[in-house]
Amino acid sequence: MSKTLVVATKTALNNAIKTKKDSIKKKKNITIGLSPTMGALHNGHKSLIEKNVSENDISIVSIFVNPAQFSPSEDLDKYPRTLENDIKLCESLGVDIIFTPDSKEIYDGDEVSINPPKNMGYILEGYYRPTHFSGVLQVVLKLFNLTEANNAYFGKKDAQQLLIIQKMVKNLFLNINIVPIEIVRDSDSLALSSRNIYLDSKMRKKALAIPKAIFKINDLVSQNVRDIGILKESALEILKGLNIDYMDFYTHDLKLANEAKNCIFLLAVRLNLSDNSGEIRLLDNLWLD
């Protein structure tokens, strides 16, 4: 296995890609894969990275806590950072290049900006975080350009993000293939997230109502219950007492679905942190055929 290169600047990234390309025997159609992350890597990221490594000649993982996607009131400074462990994990998975730029490398302070589509970017997460998707698209487009990736790996866990990125690729005619990755859950079924470390055991217990509701919907749909009213009622029963930011069924272009078919059940719940230092929002979803 060749050594994982850890680089922090655009020039070093270019050189690393060139070095890796030179070391590959086949010279034509070398494919580059990118797994964009904000670090604090867990098994959800691992799944994105493994697929990247297995499908590409050169695999790149970016680790960048992107300030542009946080609003001033959010947890940018507190966001978990575990770079040493992240590097070890990537090395063990056979990643070729880890790109860990700092903010100045990515942003020059006076930016051409990119906005999500009006119909998809300002509902659900975008309603609660109106500048979020603009920041996500800004960095994702830069990362696509910097790495010249052929394939990029995104989790279905962030369903709205995935759909908006697919829309950007379509609208801007980007020459990149977006590969969706299934949601990875912890042993207690909570969807893995870097922010789960904020949960103490009491909060975690409460949070388990979320996967329970997701599984209930899945069960009912597999019994061919497609009526959205009935499904939402049974989910609400399980989520009783939690602060639900949103919970509904959406088509893949993020319009409200009429029945639970070929759509996504999207759910966001807010929990207060036990030390009263704020709250954490947990997202989960279910993709239905």
Residues near ligand AMP, by CB under 6 A: 37-38, 44-45, 47-48, 154-155, 157-158, 181, 183-184, 191-194
Length of the chain: 289
Yes or no: say if 164 and 120 are a contact pair by the CB < 8 Å rule.
yes
How far, in Å, CA of 149 to CA of 143, rounded? Answer: 8
Residue with tokens 């942190």: 273
Pinpoint the alpha helices (H) of 122-158.
125-128, 132-147
- Work out how close the CB of 162 gets to ligand AMP at its nearest, in angstroms, rounded to a whole number: 7
Q: Which is nearer to ligand AMP, 271 or 282 (CB)?
A: 282
- Work out how close the CB of 262 gets to ligand AMP at its nearest, in angstroms, rounded to a whole number: 21
- Work out how close the CB of 115 gets to ligand AMP at its nearest, in angstroms, rounded to a whole number: 19
How far, in Å, CA of 165 to CA of 181, rounded? Answer: 14
How far, in Å, CA of 106 to CA of 138, rounded? Answer: 10
- Work out how close the CB of 218 gets to ligand AMP at its nearest, in angstroms, rounded to a whole number: 16
How far, in Å, CA of 50 to CA of 48, rounded? Answer: 6
How far, in Å, CA of 246 to CA of 270, rounded? Answer: 10
Q: Which is nearer to ligand AMP, 132 or 232 (CB)?
A: 132
Three-state DSSP at 203 gives helix
Locate 73 and state its tokens: 């009131």
- Work out how close the CB of 274 gets to ligand AMP at its nearest, in angstroms, rounded to a whole number: 22
Does residue 42 have an active-site annotation?
Answer: no
Distance from first CA to last CA of the chain, Å, rounded?
39
- Per annotation, catalytic residue among 42, 45, 132, 252: 45
Q: Which is nearer to ligand AMP, 228 or 282 (CB)?
A: 282
Number of C-beta neighbours around residue 33 at 10 A: 27
Q: Which is nearer to ligand AMP, 239 or 282 (CB)?
A: 282
Q: Which is nearer to ligand AMP, 126 or 155 (CB)?
A: 155
Which active-site residues does the annotation give? 45
